[in-house]
Amino acid sequence: MSRLARRAIAAVLLVAAPAFAQEKVDLATVTKIKDEALNRSQVMETMSWLTDVYGPRLTGSPNEHAAAEWTMKAMTGWGVQNAHLEGWSFYKGWRNDRFALQVTGNNPFPVAAAPRAWSPAPLKGVAKGDALMMKLDSIGDTTKYAGKLKGKFVMLAPVPDIKPHFDADAHRLTDEELAKMAVAPMPAPGGGGFGGGAPNLANLTPAQRAQFARAALGRLPSDTNFLKFLVKEGASGILMAARGDMGTVFTDNGAPRVKNPPPMPAVHVSGEAYGRIARMLDKGLTVPLELTMQNTITPDTLSYNIVAEIPGTDPALRDEIVMLGAHFDSWHAGTGATDNAAGSAVMLEAMRIIQTLGLKPRRTIRIGLWTGEEEGLLGSREFVKAHLGERKGDTVFTKADYDKFAGYFNVDNGTGKIRGVYLQGNAGVKGIFDAWLQPFWANGAQTITFSNTGGTDHLAFDGIGLPGWQFIQDPLDYGTRTHHSNEDVYERIQADDMKHNAAVVASFVWLTAQRDAKLPRKTGYVLKGALP
């Protein structure tokens, strides 16, 4: 450890010392939790069921529903109580059952690709046609291709510029990185939005206008009018240049936003294959393609959160609720392992550990496994709205369970080891969490940062003033290889990290359930009663 890291961590521990000394830590129970988590773990078996058997778990899909049924049965078998599904309104389910993209002709070769989520299949399951590169300067520029797209697989410039990898894809947080996080200042209160609407192009420089135009063109595959244009012109499909290389194909957020979207098949093509086809077109060659795609569509308009609990035993506190959770849904090119069967399996393992050890929490411990996270935290927000409250501006309209809520803990940054906690600007819990992490210092979990982190389901709770946290994790190859890609599979999961994570989560949940007082909350919200 460098001198900078040692000095920063020492300063943080010095500030936290008074609260650390006052906070009670049930070390005997934490030791039992660690022993069960590390020596009799079932977390990887749970992972295999969620990924190998039931993955991927796209929101609303048949796989998601089957995985939810298995999960409820597993928890019931462990003795966890009241396992049930809570439905919320969605669009429709989609699962890809068969897919292949092939260059045909004199020099045939398979194309590494993945279907876009919710993409319609060709009418007869197979579509044939030649590739055509659309070179556009603006969205309105599409009109120059009128009458030229019938039977074509449309491609959009630019072609990916693939660079060599001089650094390792996987990374663990260094002492210096953790030290900087530990001394991060308290974030400014408030939203953090940047306003809405399109910029005034007249106020932009030529370079800025060009950048804005490129960004707009990059969104064309999601533009309803563009897709209607392709359908009208009789195009066979749209080929999207996927982010990634070396066999990795990242998919994007192809979630349905429009009722009855235009029926235009869309495919993510690997960067290398996209480049090969583009270079052949530049040579004036014809590149014939054949797309095979078959999907299962579930017309059900509901998706489901999975909820279960270990009831509290203290007559004065058992109506109060400690929650742990993770998003259960995934994308579709892989099996949804690091994003986010990893978080779901850790939360399930934490529940199994507490139940298996016969622990009797004072407060009720409730697990929530959310769907629709990938489409905008939909499932967790629906749960919060139904059970806890709703925010309108700076005012929170609360429900009965709002005042009984003790805290929420979330895992959704892949399989990497937990190294600490993002406080989400909640200064009141710093000394408490410092004390709770102490049994895990030897395992590398000792960093508390005031910093916020976003993009996942703790925000549904934090957004209405309830205490909710995401753990700091080693990134590993989450951002470089597995996040929303075809590489998001069981083999990317690190078993030792998962066991450690389950021990940390189970301990934090247990200690929250046993405290005499609920965990501190942030201030700054105007609270009212029920919604008018």
Q: What is residue 192's predicted lDDT score, i.e. its pLDDT?
A: 35
pTM equals: 0.91
Cβ partners under 8 Å of residue 36, min gap 6: 353, 356, 357
* 3-class secondary-structure state, position 531: coil
What is the model's pLDDT at position 56? 97
- Tell me the pairing of strands 447-449 and 405-410: unpaired
Q: What is the pLDDT along the chain (532 residues), one digit of tens a residue?
A: 444 444 444 444 444 444 445 798 999 999 999 999 999 999 999 999 999 999 999 999 999 999 999 999 999 999 999 999 999 999 888 999 999 999 999 999 999 999 999 999 999 999 999 999 999 887 778 889 999 999 999 999 789 999 999 999 999 999 999 999 999 998 876 543 323 445 555 666 767 666 666 677 778 888 888 999 999 999 999 999 999 999 999 998 765 666 677 899 999 999 999 999 999 999 999 999 999 999 999 887 789 999 999 999 999 999 999 999 999 999 999 999 999 999 999 999 999 999 999 999 999 999 999 999 999 999 999 999 999 999 988 899 999 999 999 999 999 999 999 999 999 999 999 999 999 999 999 999 999 999 889 899 999 999 999 999 999 999 999 999 999 999 999 999 999 999 999 999 999 999 999 999 999 998 877 778 766 5
Token duo for residue 127: 């579509």
The count of C-alpha atoms lying within 13 angstroms of the C-alpha of 351, restricted to the half-sphere facing its C-beta, is 35
Contact 357, 32 (CB under 8 A): yes
Q: What is the pLDDT of residue 203?
A: 63
Record the tokens describing residue 427, joined without a space. Answer: 């200064």
Helix (H) or strand (E) holding 233: helix 224-233
Distance in angstroms (rounded) separating the CA atoms of residues 477 and 413: 10
Residue 189, pLDDT score: 65
Amino acid at 196: G
Q: Closest Cα to residue 453, out of 416, 482, 412?
A: 412
Provide the 3-class DSSP secondary structure of residue 426.
Answer: coil
Q: Is 484 exposed, middle or buried (0-12, 13-18, 19+ CB in 10 A)?
A: buried
The residue to which tokens 């407060």 are assigned: 363
| Spatial contact of 264 and 227, defined as CB atoms under 8 Å apart | yes
In angstroms, rounded to a whole number, what is the distance separating the alpha carbons of residues 305 and 341? 14
Read off the tokens for 484: 């929303």
Q: Is 96-165+198-295 a CATH 3.30.200.20 domain? A: no
3-90+301-528 belongs to CATH 3.40.630.10: yes
Residue 386 pLDDT: 96
Residue type, 450: F
- Are 183 and 12 in contact by the 8 Å Cβ rule? The answer is yes
The tally of CA atoms less than 13 A away on the side-chain side of residue 76 is 10
Residue ranges per structural domain of the chain? 3-90+301-528, 96-165+198-295
Of 156, 375, 115, whose CA–CA distance to 264 is shortest?
Answer: 115
- Give the whole-angstrom CA distance, residue 498 versus residue 359: 21
User: In angstroms, rounded to a whole number, what is the distance separating the alpha carbons of residues 232 and 486?
Assistant: 32
Q: CB–CB of 88/306 below 8 Å?
A: no
